[in-house]
Amino acid sequence: MLLVSEPILGDEEKAALSDVVECGWITMGERVRAFEQAFARHHGTSDAVAVNSCTAALHLALEGLGVGPGDEVLVPSLTFVATANSVLYAGATPVFIDIESLEIPLMSIADADAKCTTKTKAIIIMHYAGYLADRHTWRDFARSRGLVLIEDAAHAAGVYGAGTFGDAAAFSFYGNKNMTTAEGGVVLAADDAVLARIRQMRGHGMTSGTRERLSSRSPTYDVTMLGYNYRLDELRAAIGLVQLKNLEWWNSRRQELTRRYHRRLSEDCPNVLVPFQVPRDAAYHIMPVILPSSADRAQIMGKLRDAEIQTTIHYPPVHSLSFYRDRCSSPRLSQTEEFARRELTLPLHPKMEAWHVDRVAAELARALAG
């Protein structure tokens, strides 16, 4: 089965894990700190806070920037549910925004503008599929309205500039991401004081961690804020340090495969729309395509599975999920709904070869032909 995504793990990761086991210190320590610093350097920032998931990163970013009860946060509906969930964790209310178009499935600034109210406190822009939203447009939008700007950069690890648009950003290292620690995430923030607050919140709001107390030979600490158990461990940080070294090459390989997809799909499946035809900075995280409006997506997915090609969907619109449909009154998001109805995610990962892309395009054409 050709999978939609597949992590690359090998001897270096095994050795890194073995080193952690041998040293005996498995909670937050030197490797977590080294990973934070290396990730920050890779993305052109001064520091980072490693946590146990991108969801935790989003939650901490919101609370660290003062978003809370009574506030509204503009969020895309074309995203994983964690983006909206994190807003509820902070006690705020998500307001769902449509995408720009089927060709550019990023959050619509026109719809965001229309849905701003006196309660709007923040915006979470999501770099869908790893394609960066427009930096200057969103920064100007947020600044002109006095809004907090947060990037959901779960799909965008390794793209220079990702995480530096506004006030904070959250990255994911889940098993299907461009680099992985199995579970894990990172927060970047423009303000050092905000980042320091987030660092304290990730460990129960304690003023010192276990390693720091060992180094200072003092067992005492204080708790000066409400915090959470969002820490990353040494084992995952050790994997992250190895993965980060390969991220640039892996993203380059994803770009090559994506370009081949564009060529082959235009030849074999001219009735299939491929988003992001206009070049923009990207991590090429997933390969979304839009099927013809008359196509039976379930049937096509079944035919591709019979050909041992996995496909999936990114994403069911969050506003259409039962929990949010019953909780949040939302007008129709026509572009998001049409995109989600017709979207199909094809395999894309660095283990693939060019002939895999050719095979997927050919099998998709065969499935569409009936």
Catalytic residue among 177, 245, 303, 351: 177
Closest CA to 105 of 357, 232, 280: 280
Find out whether 67 and 120 touch, Cβ atoms under 8 Å. no
DSSP structure string for 62-89? HHHTT--TT-EEEEESSS-THHHHHHHH
Find out whether 254 and 349 touch, Cβ atoms under 8 Å. yes
Q: What span, in angstroms and rounded, lies between the C-alpha atoms of 9 and 189? A: 29
Other CB atoms closer than 10 Å to residue 173's CB: what's the count?
29
Q: What span, in angstroms and rounded, lies between the C-alpha atoms of 214 and 7? A: 36
Query: Maximum Cα–Cα distance for the chain, whole Å?
Result: 71
Find out whether 116 and 145 touch, Cβ atoms under 8 Å. yes
Q: What span, in angstroms and rounded, lies between the C-alpha atoms of 252 and 109? A: 29
Cβ neighbours for 26, distance < 8 A, ≥ 6 positions apart: 20, 233, 234, 235
Q: Is 177 a catalytic residue?
A: yes
Cβ neighbours for 266, distance < 8 A, ≥ 6 positions apart: 274
DSSP structure string for 322-362? HHHHHH------HHHHHHHHHEEEEP--TT--HHHHHHHHH
Find out whether 349 and 3 touch, Cβ atoms under 8 Å. yes
Catalytic amino acids? Answer: 177
